[in-house]
Copies of this chain bind each other. A is one copy, B any other.
Amino acid sequence: MTNQILRGRKHLIALNPNDLPTKWLNMRAVLPEKLPPVLDPDDDKHGRVEIMRRIRPQAMIQQDETNDEWIDIPEEVLEKFVEIGRPTPLMRAVELERYLDTPAKIYIKREDLLPSHSFKLNTAVAQAYYAKKENAEGLITETGAGQWGVSLSYACNMFDLKTIVFWVKVSVNQKPLRRAFSEMLGATVYPSPSTMTKAGREILDKNPDHYGSLGTAIGEAISFSMEHDSYKYASGSNLSHVLLHQSIIGLETKMQLELAGEQPDILVGCCGGGSNLGGLIAPWVRTKSERPDTIRLFAAESEAAPRLSRGRYMYDHSDPVGLTPQVLSYTLGMDYMPPPVHVGGLRQHNGSPIIGMLKHKDLLESRPYTQEEIFEAGRLFIQLYRIIPAPETCHAIKATIDLALEAKRNNEKKTIVMCFSGNGLLDLSGYSEILNKSK
């Protein structure tokens, strides 16, 4: 019975808990230029930057501003990482390569295996740890489709913290299972607009049937945080500290590729706020910056919000109503409304300034995809692997397929590495809706 340990698992490159990286990599330190500061808009009377300083855990503020290249991961966070299944495996997608008949090798980093079903848990665990350390009673956040809400509820449960989630009302009704999961984990969920905040009550006074938006939810989460000092405010994307925490994805991937004897030619991630893509590419940003021809970095966007591909590089708020400070990144404008029919995620009008700078410096490629083509790619993946990609992840799969076919046309043995950001079991109705419509 030789070699049986490989039986059925031969395409998985696993690391054991001893191999976990013990430091995060700070992309701010490896960018080609210093990242411009976040700013209050000219007409600001509220001091948005100052409000954020007050309502976030202090460690997050420090991590947002430091230019140190390496930040120690606290031992207790490492323990929780192991508990949630880190290091996650890297999978060689041989079946997909064969199906595409491409000379390219495809590697997939399996963040979908985390128990909250997405990579969001990496930063949720870190933020919950710091909030606990700063003696917070709990964390407050907003969520739309809910992967972030579930992940934060999960992490807060691990650290015995309370969770308060302002959840866009129309989304919470579409995702009752994600809401129930959060609540069973102990979270308090307020469909937003709610009667819990002045902002929410004003909206409801005008229109009791208001179905909410990410703007109303962010607004309520921020005001509720300002009124409840024992709680801290948490965000799941865009910010430097979030990308810092997600660098664990790339650091593990780098070790796994070295074990496999591979050098990546192309790194691919879907891109909304930019944190899973940022986390994946972090260890290669300096190389890209110094020797641009040795590697390609690729952002798969949604046609519903193609900010990197068709937006402008300028200062803008990261939320749709201007409650947060302004950052320099690619934006479609704060009042950009993605097509209402779109179910495929990645609908933000702007995103991470780190990702924005990479694009601005021509170090990052991007391409937008339609929901029809991404769900087709997702269906192919399910039929080959019986693993359900989240709609966001389907964008990265579609890009990977296109890049592997490009390698085939050019007869090039490229090594493509993709971040599989989340599981889509609870999003299967989106697949059915779009794929049945396009029949």
Q: Are A180 and B386 in contact (CB under 8 A)?
A: no
Given that A4-B18, A429-B176, A432-B176 are contacting pairs, would A388 and B9 also be in contact in the complex, using a CB cutoff of 8 Å? no
A286 at interface, CB cutoff 8 A: no
CB-defined A-B contacts under 8 Å, sample of 21: A4-B17, A5-B17, A6-B17, A7-B78, A7-B79, A8-B79, A8-B81, A8-B83, A115-B387, A154-B386, A157-B383, A157-B386, A176-B429, A177-B428, A181-B428, A183-B432, A184-B379, A184-B383, A184-B431, A185-B382, A425-B426
A59 within 8 A of B: no
Residue-wise, chain A 305-324 has the 8 Å CB interface mask toward B (1 for contact) of 00000000000000000000
Question: Which residue from chain B places its CB closest to the CB of A9 in the assembled complex?
Answer: B82
Among A4, A157, A185, A186, the one with the most B-chain Cβ atoms within 10 Å of its Cβ is A4
B16/A177 in contact, CB under 8 A:
no
Bound CA–CA A6/B82 (angstroms): 9
SS of A interface (majority): helix
Q: In the complex, are the beta carbons of A8 and B184 less than 8 A apart?
A: no
A1 at the interface (CB under 8 A from B): yes
A154: min CB distance to chain B, Å? 6
Number of copies of this chain that the complex holds: 2
Of B7, B180, B428, the contact of A429 (CB 8 Å cutoff): B180
What is the interface of chain A, defined by CB distance below 8 A to chain B?
Answer: 1, 4-9, 16-18, 78-83, 115, 154, 157-158, 176-177, 180-181, 183-186, 379, 382-383, 386-388, 425-426, 428-429, 431-432
Chain B residues within 8 Å of A183, by CB: 432
Contact between A158 and B428, CB atoms less than 8 A apart: no
CA distance A186 to B384 in the complex (A): 10
Q: Are A386 and B115 in contact (CB under 8 A)?
A: yes
| Cβ–Cβ contact A80 & B429, under 8 A | no
